[in-house]
Amino acid sequence: MSAPTANEVRPVTTTPDDAPEPTRRGGVGGLVEAYALVALTVGLVLLFSLLPSTSETFPTAANLQISLADKAILAVVALAVLVPIVAEVWDFTPGATMGLASVFAAKVVSETDSILLAVAVACAVGIAIGVINGLLVTRAKINSVIATLGMTILISGVVQWVTSGNSIVDGIPTGLTDFGSRNLLGIPVVVFVALVLVLAVYYVLRHTAYGRYLYALGSNRSAGRLVGIPVERLTMSTYMVSGLLAGIAGVLLLARTGAGNPAVGPGYTLPAFAVVFLGAAAITPGRWNVGGLVTAVLFLAALNSGLNLAGASGFVNDLANGTALIVGVGLANLFAHRRGRTLEIK
Amino acid sequence: MSASAEREATREVAVRARGVTKSFPGTLALDDVGLEVAPGEIHALVGSNGSGKSTLIKVLAGVYAADAGELQVGDSTYDLPAFTPALATSCGLHFVHQQPSVFPDLTVADNLAVGRGYDTSWLSRISARKVRARAERILERFHIDARWDDSLRNLRPGTQTMVAIARALQDQEEASGGLLVLDEATAALTPAEFETLAAALRRYSAAGQAILLVSHRLEEIVGLADRATVLRDGRRVATLTREKLNYDALVEHIVGGALDAAVPRQAAPRRLGVPVLEASGLRGGSVRNVSVSVGQGEIVGVMGLAGAGCSTLMRLLFGAQRLEAGTVKVDGQELHLRSPADAIRAGIAFVPEDRAAFALFPELSVLENLAMATPDCGRTGRLRHRRELSKVRTDLTRYQVRAQSPSTPISQLSGGNQQKVVMARWLRRSPRVLLLDEPTQGVDVGARAALWGALRMATETGTGALVASSDAEELAQLCDRVVVISDGEVVRELADTPCSAEQLEHAVYNGAVAR
């Protein structure tokens, strides 16, 4: 019997590294870090429900319906931003693509009166933009930030060209606008649509091999190729998924506003990024995740509707949203640092 | 030798750490550890992963605050619990790490100037003339074979490390103050490159520089160090003097047992089955013409000097680099390798050389890393998390991976344990052909034994393995056959087992000389 090797002497459960750092994820600190944003959202809801100036209007079914329906579209655009980011390629087009899709859908529906065709066209427009983005990044090897930024500007140009800068308001069938304003079981239908998409993206990212491969690409592209992941094909697919989601968002936008407005789309991009970044600091901190995204959307919904009802001017919302993003990610970083690691949002 | 004996007698000390204790929640990483390095001494610090070696270095660098202990540098004494990186720098402790933090795209002169500040003229304008003159002075002083305007990228790894050392030491007027700590700085060097560096280190030490060398490569230490301090489980178990400093003694102290337990030697030459891998006339990149075959259950070594084409050969066989000519057959079937996915489908597995760059997904968990090549999906495409978890637990035990839990991010594991996970990732596919490129680089003796054990286990079920390594000792003990490559071609094949490490080294250098 020979002497045991170094490995056998040590139980499997000891701290693994030569430099055992206190980096455990569990524990109270981990919970605080993961659910701080949830707690903050609940706090905001309580605050506005009790505050004299908003306690009459904030905790009402009508306000809930309006603020959720408002943010449902933002949530879908944020999903479109999220999917490519998981694989560490960037997509700045979702807002503009949504605008383009809604304008095309409005044109089609006003001329043919077919809602189904309009939906199909919006989705097709979204996927087409996704394919172009994907080709630029995987084939032409253009940096994804630059390629999709260029596409954003280009799409805005196309939208102005197609609409001559005017909203398409005539001939939008009431069937479509009803869909945008109707409630089901007291909850706006658009919220249900967003919820279905949220669950679908969550399922794909968390519970399928495809999702795991995307996180793998986000973590180390070269290693991904060397375990047989079809890197280019997956990258292309994330842009197509992103485009499809933006296309659906375009239909929701049209249904909700009853107009193909050429000016609305691009304005959603930055808030969508804010939601994705803020969300990466919640639920599973340091990882792009759908749960955090939803939390961030709800947080903004509570914050913005509360501020509006309290009579704050429009610019206050921007001030609050920007501050929330910086402080939120900053605090998450600080927590992570205190506990011996850095929050690398990847 | 007489000079160092004299120093020994006068007990002159460049750096002395005493009673260093450091605990982490649940672990006592350092327990009353002492360390003394004399001026002009090359002192080795060795120990397996988890021995407390890295922790001690981090305490000396002021990165970790020790619980107790003091540090004497020259005439000054410092309290280690209150030690800081700034203090470490100001009292003359210089650190060069595994990945020397040089800037590959900048020139030698820029690299030397960046850390310390540029020489400037009027309006803070960088004075190119002064910067250049300084760089040339330093290159000469440290005998570095490079020009001031070479990009670091174009220098050999050994020379890059020497530039990093020169940068660390540049402000010392005489090369005798303080302590130069080389923290695994030699891990990525080939033997030839190491020799260049070793010669330089001997020169520095002869000039009076105290050097602390942290390395897993025991052969290097035996050839270079004056003394070696061995840590195990956070304690100093021995400080070996020159006379007692040999490979077997080091391993015995590191592992705490006899040599045979740590390094399983090849028993008898085994009978080998039909070929699983047949490659002929391969060309691509630095490989010009290589034919090699691997039998069922056979371990074939590939060895060559840096740039000879060993790593390229591996990448060609895995479809990771374009094959310009030649055929690759697995089990008699010819493959069309356009991507790694093709190779994987044909039953080839590849553990690449640079773990961090090509094998790990640092933010993902141990489980995700281990299961990456074999996701367990049901018919619906849903991952079966529970089954995955239980299988991963089995693998972690089988391959002796030390991890807190399967959900720990892999970046928190030590190098050896990370490598075991990468190995397990492929072995669970039961590959026909296993390609290993420098599989034990930068891992400790214990992990190396576990990795070799895993490899043997796989070959018993018929997997053929091709192992590229610059460690002759490793190949001599592990392989049934070794192919020597020089300048992209096979120059020798050593089939007589067991062949010795010396034989291999000779074959490699002779192969290079013959061209």
Q: Mutation target for A interface from B56, B260, B364, B440: give the one with most A CBs within 10 A.
A: B364
Q: Over pLDDT 70: what percentage of chain A?
A: 88
Name beta bridge partners: B284: B287
B444 touches chain A (CB under 8 A): yes
Average pLDDT score over residue span A316-332:
84
**CA-derived radius of gyration, chain A:** 22
B476 touches chain A (CB under 8 A): no
pLDDT, position A337: 65
- For residue A105, pLDDT over 90 is answered with yes
Instruction: Please write the tens of the pLDDT for every residue from B401-428.
Output: 988 889 888 988 888 899 999 999 999 9
Average pLDDT score over residue span A84-101:
96
pLDDT, position B514: 47
Three-state SS sequence of B266-279: CCCCCCCCCEEEEE
List all residues 6 or more positions away from A305 whose beta carbon is below 8 Å from its beta carbon: A48, A58, A63, A66, A67, A70
- For residue B60, pLDDT over 80 is answered with yes
Distance from CA of B381 to the nearest CA of A (A): 6
Average pLDDT score over residue span A40-48:
92
Q: What is the dihedral of CA A26, A32, A38, A40, to 10 degrees?
A: -170
pLDDT, position B486: 84
Report angle CA B308, B310, B313 to the nearest 5 degrees.
120
Long-range contacts of A193-196 (CB under 8 A, 24+ apart): A193/A72, A193/A76, A193/A248, A193/A252, A194/A72, A194/A73, A194/A75, A194/A76, A194/A252
Instruction: Please write the tens of the pLDDT for every residue from B124-181.
Output: 677 778 888 888 888 887 778 888 888 888 887 778 888 888 888 777 655 456 888 9
Nearest to B347 by CA among B327, B331, B325, B368: B331
- For residue B120, pLDDT over 80 is answered with no
Average pLDDT score over residue span A192-209:
95
Flag the least confident range among A296-300, A338-342, B215-219.
Answer: A338-342
Three-state SS sequence of B448-468: HHHHHHHHHHHHHCCCEEEEE
- For residue A16, pLDDT over 50 is answered with no
- Asked whether the ipTM of the predicted complex exceeds the cut of 0.85, the reply is no
Q: Over pLDDT 90: what percentage of chain B?
A: 34
Q: Which residues of A touch B357 (CB under 8 A)?
A: 220, 222-223
Q: Mutation target for B interface from A7, A9, A15, A138: give the one with most B CBs within 10 A.
A: A7
Distance from CA of B436 to the nearest CA of A (A): 13
- For residue A8, pLDDT over 60 is answered with no
B27 touches chain A (CB under 8 A): yes
Name beta bridge partners: B255: none
Q: What is the dihedral of CA B373, B379, B385, B389, to 10 degrees?
A: -60
Q: What is the dihedral of CA A67, A69, A71, A73, to 10 degrees?
A: -160
DSSP 3-state assignment of B384? Answer: coil
- For residue A219, pLDDT over 60 is answered with yes
pLDDT, position B391: 93
Instruction: Please write the tens of the pLDDT for every residue from B266-291.
Output: 444 455 568 999 999 999 888 999 99
Burial class (CB in 10 A: 0-12, 13-18, 19+), A192: middle
The pLDDT confidence band at residue A30, using thresholds 50, 70 and 90, is confident
State the residue for tokens 């760089």.
B135
Evaluate the CA torsion angle A319, A325, A331, A337 in order and state its sign. Answer: negative
Average pLDDT score over residue span B464-475:
87
Q: Where does B142-255 have alpha helices with state H?
A: 157-169, 191-206, 218-224, 247-255
What is the β-pairing status of strands B325-330 and B299-303? unpaired
B65 touches chain A (CB under 8 A): no
The pLDDT confidence band at residue A273, using thresholds 50, 70 and 90, is very high
Tell me how crowded residue B49 is: count the other CB atoms within 10 A of its CB.
Answer: 26
Instruction: Please write the tens of the pLDDT for every residue from B176-209.
Output: 568 889 888 776 677 777 887 888 888 888 888 8
pLDDT, position B499: 66
Q: Which residues of A touch B397 (CB under 8 A)?
A: 12
DSSP structural state of residue A267 = G
The pLDDT confidence band at residue B105, using thresholds 50, 70 and 90, is confident
Q: Mutation target for B interface from A14, A213, A220, A226: give the one with most B CBs within 10 A.
A: A226
Distance from CA of A292 to the nearest CA of B (A): 17
How confident is the prediction for chain B on average, in pLDDT?
A: 83
The C-alpha atoms of residue A18 and residue B64 are separated, in whole angstroms, by 13
What is the β-pairing status of strands B348-351 and B433-437? parallel
The pLDDT confidence band at residue B392, using thresholds 50, 70 and 90, is very high
- For residue B333, pLDDT over 70 is answered with yes
Q: Over pLDDT 70: what percentage of chain B?
A: 86
* B55 in Cβ contact with B230 (< 8 Å): no
* Better-predicted residue by pLDDT, A170 or A78: A78
Q: DSSP string of B20-85?
A: EEEEETTEEEEEEEEEEE-TT-EEEEE--TTSSHHHHHHHHTTSSPPSEEEEEETTEEEEGGG--H
How confident is the prediction for chain A on average, in pLDDT?
A: 86
The pLDDT confidence band at residue B47, using thresholds 50, 70 and 90, is confident
Distance from CA of A287 to the nearest CA of B (A): 8
Give the number of A-B residue pairs with CB atoms closer than 8 Å. Answer: 161
Average pLDDT score over residue span A68-78:
94
Q: Mutation target for A interface from B363, B382, B396, B419: give the one with most A CBs within 10 A.
A: B363
pLDDT, position B510: 63
The C-alpha atoms of residue B59 and residue B53 are separated, in whole angstroms, by 10
Amino acid at B7: R
* Better-predicted residue by pLDDT, A253 or A53: A253
Q: How far apart are the first and last CA of chain B?
A: 38
The C-alpha atoms of residue A280 and residue A330 are separated, in whole angstroms, by 12
The pLDDT confidence band at residue B2, using thresholds 50, 70 and 90, is very low
Q: Which of A9, A10, A19 sits opposite B58 (nearest CB)?
A: A19
Tell me how crowded residue B267 is: count the other CB atoms within 10 A of its CB.
Answer: 7
pLDDT, position B281: 93
- For residue A81, pLDDT over 50 is answered with yes
Average pLDDT score over residue span A278-290:
86
- With an 8 Å Cβ cutoff, are A14 and B50 in contact? yes
- With an 8 Å Cβ cutoff, are A228 and B341 in contact? yes
- Give the CA distances from residue B498 to residues B249, B297, B480, in Å, rounded to whole numbers and listed in that order: 23, 17, 8
The pLDDT confidence band at residue B257, using thresholds 50, 70 and 90, is low
The pLDDT confidence band at residue B215, using thresholds 50, 70 and 90, is confident
Q: What is the dihedral of CA B363, B368, B371, B374, to 10 degrees?
A: -90
- With an 8 Å Cβ cutoff, are B358 and A222 in contact? yes
Residue of B nearest to A8 (CA): B400
* A228 in Cβ contact with B344 (< 8 Å): yes
The C-alpha atoms of residue A250 and residue A76 are separated, in whole angstroms, by 10
- With an 8 Å Cβ cutoff, are B339 and A14 in contact? no
B408 touches chain A (CB under 8 A): yes
Q: Which residues of A touch B408 (CB under 8 A)?
A: 16
Instruction: Please write the tens of the pLDDT for every residue from B346-367.
Output: 999 999 988 888 999 988 999 9
Burial class (CB in 10 A: 0-12, 13-18, 19+), B374: middle
What is the β-pairing status of strands B433-437 and B464-468? parallel
Q: Over pLDDT 90: what percentage of chain A?
A: 59
Q: Which residues of A touch B446 (CB under 8 A)?
A: 5-7
Q: Which of B29, B261, B350 sits opposite A4 (nearest CB)?
A: B261
Q: Which residues of B touch A346 (CB under 8 A)?
A: 363
B404 touches chain A (CB under 8 A): yes
Average pLDDT score over residue span A281-299:
90
Q: Mutation target for B interface from A1, A2, A5, A203: give the one with most B CBs within 10 A.
A: A5
* B330 in Cβ contact with B277 (< 8 Å): yes
Average pLDDT score over residue span A22-29:
50
- With an 8 Å Cβ cutoff, are B402 and A10 in contact? yes
Nearest to A279 by CA among A268, A300, A294, A269: A294
Residue of B nearest to A341 (CA): B412
pLDDT, position A294: 96
